[in-house]
Amino acid sequence: MADYDVIVIGAGPAGYVGAIRASQLGLNTACVEKWIDADSKPVYGGTCLNTGCIPSKALLDSSHKFAEASHDFAVHGIKVGKVSMDVPAMITHKDKVVKQLTGGIAGLFKANKVTGISGTGKLLKDKQVEVTDHDGKTQILSADNIILAAGSVPIDIPPTPIDNDVIVDSTGALEFQETPKRLGVIGAGVIGLELGSVWSRLGSEVIVLESMDSFLPMVDQQIAKEAKKLLTKQGLDIRLGAKVTGSKLKKGKSKGVTVTFEDKEGQKEENFDKLIVCVGRRPYSDSLLSDDCGVEKNERGFISVDDHCATSVPGVFAVGDIVRGPMLAHKGSEEGVMVAENIAGHKASMNYDLIPSVIYTHPEIASVGKTEEQLKNDGVEFNVGVFPFAASGRALAANDAQGMVKILADKTTDRVLGCHIIGPSAADLAQTVVVAMEFSSSAEDIGLTVFSHPALCEAVHEAALAVNGHAIHIANRKK
């Protein structure tokens, strides 16, 4: 007889949510997690809560408040003296938020009767799990069903080996105790732009080196173009087509690094006090599987699964960053729920076409569905509605009126195919369109819906109206 109905390996957003839902459905569930804190106590939440989504947002919010106090209060009639930032205090606040949330998951495990097991989990054959604790002791557990949710880790690149002092990955960039004078960021993706924004707001001269020639290629290009303009205006020096070729740490008291790179003009170099390497993440699957467990991986290390996250072994599932699709916490969480529901005998599925993505710079960048470029490549005829926040009374009152809402709808059926926003509260505004798209709403449906006034969400309403030339508060484009 198996020890458990379900064993989950990994307690990040995919794992802990899946474990809780499985237990709620009456399944005897255990969750194996290797994270421990400074006191050697188990810590749940994975990368997201400990070194990813949550701590980075804490620093983004703190640095944004500093930037507002430094530059934007005067327009509201608020007079302040010279503003300064206590970086260690900001880091302490971040750590407090992380501790509160990770401790909250331990409480949720207890309330939902999930057994937390501290150690590193490895899947063996016949649905057995080897758990190695932090003293090196091992135990073998078994379950009728296994959910693999080991997450992902930052990608290292040979030209810039991480030393966790001068050259750091996204985790190390959350622990700076002072603001670097000159900061290099390799990679102009989500993480690079967010972390670059944090330290730029606090006074760093930030240079972002991106090997690709295009900026945010997966984002609707009208939005991406606006984002580059606004981020550059804020102080980020974004250099496209810059391929990093090497780095050399400075010796002596004056720490730093010299980075060499090539662009269309030839080989160049820059000196930085700190360098953040943000070139993506890879699935953490190297030591997760025994050779004879039967679970298949692809050449990039992702575990192969079907649309319901089932692996090649019956009763073994994989969710979150270690499987195909975007590496997003909310995607993994919903996969965890779907798998738990299906193990319990329910018929659950997920709409992978409507997973929103967000870049938490300021202004935020959020999107769901197809971009204009994708629709053109697919040969889909569509209408476009765009509404600028500069015409939003609520945004103007808040002195936060940069950006726009863009909605794309099928030219024949008027069904909404995509929504792309750069502006204040873009993540929350895009989510309203996610709900509408989930119910196959047309642009007209959104246009006929009553939106509160004055509110930022009116920009979504007006963009939907603009799709068919019915916008009220801007001149409509000729169709």
d(CA 418, CA 260): 40
317 forms beta bridges with 147, 310
Q: Compute the distance between CA of residue 74 and CA of residue 76 in angstroms, rounded to an integer.
A: 5
Q: Are 152 and 284 in contact (CB under 8 A)?
A: yes
Sign of the CA dihedral with 360 first, then 362, 367, and 372 last: negative
Is residue 453 among the annotated active site residues? yes
Query: Largest alpha-carbon pair distance within the chain?
Result: 71
- H helix intervals, 379-440: 393-397, 426-438
DSSP string, 238-302: EETT-EEEEEEEPPSSS--EEEEEEETTEEEEEEESEEEE-S-EEES-TTTB-TTS---B-TTSP
Q: Which residue has the tokens 């449906």?
A: 445
Please answer whether residues 471 and 462 qualify as being in contact, where contact means their C-beta atoms are separated by less than 8 angstroms.
Answer: yes
**Active-site residue (options: 71, 76, 346, 453):** 453
Q: What is the DSSP string of 164-181?
A: SSSEE-TTGGG--SS--S
Residue 397 CA to residue 454 CA, distance in Å, equals: 10
Q: What is the DSSP letter of 104?
A: H
In the structure encoding, which two tokens stand for residue 444, read together? 């007209």
Q: What's the CA gap between 216 and 198, in Å, rounded?
A: 19
With a CB cutoff of 8 Å and minimum separation 6, the contacts of 270 are: 182, 184, 207, 258, 259, 261
Q: Return the SS3 of 193.
A: helix
Would you state the torsion angle of the CA atoms of residues 324, 330, 335, 338, taken in this order, to the nearest 10 degrees? -150
Give me the phi and psi of 330, to 5 degrees please: -70, -30
What is the 8-class DSSP label of residue 25? T
Within 13 A of 446's CA, how many CA atoms are on the CB side? Answer: 37
Residue with tokens 């269309």: 264
Name the H helices within 327-401: 329-343, 372-378, 393-397
Q: Which amino acids are annotated catalytic?
A: 453
